[in-house]
Structure 1
Amino acid sequence: MRLRTVLATLTAGLAAATCLAAGPAAAQQANGHASPAHGHADPTQTHACSASVSLDRFSDALDKTAYRGTYVGNLSALAVDRDGSLAALSDRSSLFTLDARTLRPRSVVLLADEKGAALDSEGLAVDGDGTRLVTSETEPSVRRYSRDGRILDRLPVPSSLLVAPAGRATANQTFEGLTLLPGGRTLLASMEDAVSGDTPGIVRFQTWQRTKGGPFRLSAQYAYRTDDGLGVPEVRATPDGRLLVLERGFTAGVGNTVRLYLADPRHATDTSRVEYLTGQPGVRLVRKTLLADIAACPSLGATARQPQPNPLLDNIEGMTITGRDASGRLRVLLVSDDNQSAVQTTRLYFLRVRTP
């Protein structure tokens, strides 16, 4: 999202992503970033952000760069492709393929809607057949694209989630996150903010189920409560069917707040038939557990071009799971959207996450 103030089936994606384990250090060496300011980590330190999360390193290798005339920034989503490379989605309709080891772009595809207009592209999942599922905040929408950017399908969206006046959503506050659950049969998109009529801070997670013939049909919907003043820019399914959820906000003169939660929708109420979420009895929200406040991570020499609670922070919007380490912790990659602004940074963050 331009700030206001899938994976394939997860099992296949994690298997394909094992080559990413050595990627961060190689990426920085290949791009000439050998100083602490570019996130080299001392392997003898844990770099703990919390009891559950540690930061290995970060990379600014993509910041203010271009590839074949296309700006490599405004990045809002990440996914692991079937060959282990990274797919990186810009909210200006560009879909990059990045080398997993060097982070250098290998290719770029420009996306558009059915009329050839640009998207406000925010969420990304790579399906088992290599096609790309992409959300746009404009309507909002979820479309399926071929690898070369052709539209193959468009998924139905509940009328209440459409941007007003067609529905009750606020422009620029719609489908930000997208993920395929384990097995690849369920697709989940997260709204960034509440729709009109719902209690502020209660956001809806919409799901689709894959039919026998292949297309997705509308399925259950869940309610998730954000922390005060925060929205949901990304979700990513874990191998056991839970969700990693990013919550993010921005305060002028102070900077970003970014928190990582573990959420469990499996016992939440299906709210697809609940018109207004205003504290109805019997509605069970998605349960969440704080894993880390990213401001508590070590800065590792990072610098910021605007005020931040921690110079490591920026407008973090994208997230994917790239594998597991030897102890079973998830390797999680985050990316910030620099909004093509001189005072923001395109930064990748390499985390290890233990899910309780």
Structure 2
Amino acid sequence: MRLRTLVTAATASLAVAASVTVTDASAAVRPPAGVPHACSASTALDGFSDGLDKTLFQGTVVGNLSGLAVDTDGTIAALSDRSQLFNLKIGKNLAAAPTRVVPLADEKGAQLDSEAVVVERDGTRLITSEFEPSIRHYDRDGTLLDRLPVPDALRVAPAGRAIANATFEGLALQPGGHTLIASMEAPLSGDAKDAAGRTLVRFQTWHRARAKGGFTIAGQYAYPVEPNAGVSEITATGDGRLLVLERGFTAGVGNSVRLFLADPRGASDVSKVENLPGPARSLRKTLLADIGACPSLGATAKQPQPNPLLDNIEGLAVTGRTRDGRLRLLLVSDDNENPVQTTRLYALTVRLPRYV
């Protein structure tokens, strides 16, 4: 989404039954001594690349990148929020070369505010848009196949209770292909904070009985976001849990970006809870890394940042595993075609804790 300071609509701070407090941030982000490029006790930065910044491919700006997914051919599907889907071939030192770009459109041929992408096993794509919000199903060539139902309350006001430009920012498909999860970036009007002062946003799920069947609306869950942040992306870890990127921006200071591990199991279905928090158990989460605590590795910033490595990071994908079981992650920042922002790729490895 566009660069801005995130302001929540929450107006009160109420208790959430059986809520779980996030792991102490200072402990989680403290890098261990002697570990190269450590961002925290569990996460290391393997490198970054600005090679895509302010470039063109077939006359199309390679920027505004908001979502990432591994495609069936091993390339990276990189989604622009200006209604284009690129494929990137990633080489040594994160050298990225676009190999394909496909335009996307809605049922009337209009552009989307496309924010997140999931690639199905058959190569089709599930793509969110923040306009309505919506999730649409496309083939590899950008032909619209289907559109998923969305609960009325999640639609942008006045049709629903969502804030414009703060709806389906993240999308994840759980192992087996039966459960799809979309994360709202900001809370619905009327939803309040939890007892710890964290904003409660809704994660909506859909279910299908067969991996290639149609999705139907399923449960909805509350996720607690740290102050002055919003959810910019989610992705599946492969074991039923989720990686969650929380991102904020303050003018004159810069971005904050934190990576959390969250577990939907045990959370209460809040689809019938009109106003959060209510009598609900939120998703449990633990902090893996503050990206601002990573070594800068010589990165430069075009505007004030707490760490010059930081920018408007919006996309996240799991690209594989190391031999010792750590997840390999690829992140990307959305430059908004702004001269003071950068399209930057980041490679991280993270060891997931056994428990959240």
Amino acid at match of 1:110: P
Out of 285, 290, 313, the position equivalent to 1:316 is 313
User: Which residue in the other structure is 2:272 paired with?
Assistant: 273
Is the contact made by 1:211 and 1:217 (CA closer than 8 Å) also made in structure 2?
no
The answer to whether 1:331 aligns with 2:328 is yes
Out of 115, 136, 160, the position equivalent to 2:153 is 160
Mapped partners of 2:63, 2:90: distance in 1: 17
User: Which residue in the other structure is 1:21 paired with?
Assistant: none
SS at match of 1:160: helix
Amino acid at match of 1:4: R
Out of 52, 62, 70, the position equivalent to 1:80 is 70
The answer to whether 1:352 aligns with 2:349 is yes
Out of 180, 184, 187, the position equivalent to 2:180 is 187
- CA shift digits 1:278-328 (9 cap, x unpaired): x323x1000000000000000000000000000000000000000001111
- 1:270 is displaced (CA, Å) by 0.7
Matches within 5 A, 1:238-253: 238-253=237-252
- TM-score, normalised via structure 1 length: 0.87
The answer to whether 1:122 aligns with 2:80 is no
Matches within 5 A, 1:65-214: 65-101=55-91, 102-200=95-193, 201-212=199-210, 214=213
SS at match of 1:104: strand
Structure number having the greater helix percentage: 1
- 1:95 is displaced (CA, Å) by 0.2
Mapped partners of 1:141, 1:155: distance in 2: 7
- 1:45 is displaced (CA, Å) by 5.7
User: Which residue in the other structure is 2:22 paired with?
Assistant: none
- CA shift digits 1:183-242 (9 cap, x unpaired): 111110000000001115110000101144711000011100100010001000111110
Mapped partners of 1:45, 1:275: distance in 2: 47
Is the contact made by 1:179 and 1:188 (CA closer than 8 Å) also made in structure 2?
yes
Mapped partners of 2:4, 2:134: distance in 1: 20
Is the contact made by 1:53 and 1:352 (CA closer than 8 Å) also made in structure 2?
yes
- Stretch deviating more after TM superposition (96-105 or 300-309): 96-105
Mapped partners of 1:114, 1:233: distance in 2: 26
The answer to whether 1:288 aligns with 2:271 is no
- 1:246 is displaced (CA, Å) by 0.3
Amino acid at match of 1:242: R
Mapped partners of 1:280, 1:165: distance in 2: 23
Is the contact made by 1:84 and 1:100 (CA closer than 8 Å) also made in structure 2?
no
- CA shift digits 1:123-168 (9 cap, x unpaired): 1000111100000000000000010000000000000000000000
Amino acid at match of 2:269: D
The answer to whether 1:220 aligns with 2:219 is yes
Gaps of 5+ in 2: 6-33, 194-198
User: Which residue in the other structure is 1:9 paired with?
Assistant: none
- 1:103 is displaced (CA, Å) by 1.4
Is the contact made by 1:124 and 1:133 (CA closer than 8 Å) also made in structure 2?
yes
SS at match of 2:153: helix
CA-atom RMSD in angstroms: 1.1
The answer to whether 1:50 aligns with 2:40 is yes
- 1:252 is displaced (CA, Å) by 0.2
Is the contact made by 1:265 and 1:287 (CA closer than 8 Å) also made in structure 2?
yes
Mapped partners of 1:339, 1:120: distance in 2: 12
Amino acid at match of 1:220: G
User: Which residue in the other structure is 1:259 paired with?
Assistant: 258
Mapped partners of 1:141, 1:322: distance in 2: 26
Identity %: 68
Amino acid at match of 1:188: I
- TM-score, normalised via structure 2 length: 0.87
User: Which residue in the other structure is 2:2 paired with?
Assistant: 2
Mapped partners of 2:213, 2:161: distance in 1: 29
User: Which residue in the other structure is 1:342 paired with?
Assistant: 339
Mapped partners of 1:156, 1:181: distance in 2: 19
Task: Kindly tell me the number of residue pairs found equivalent between the two proteins.
Answer: 316
- Stretch deviating more after TM superposition (50-59 or 199-208): 199-208
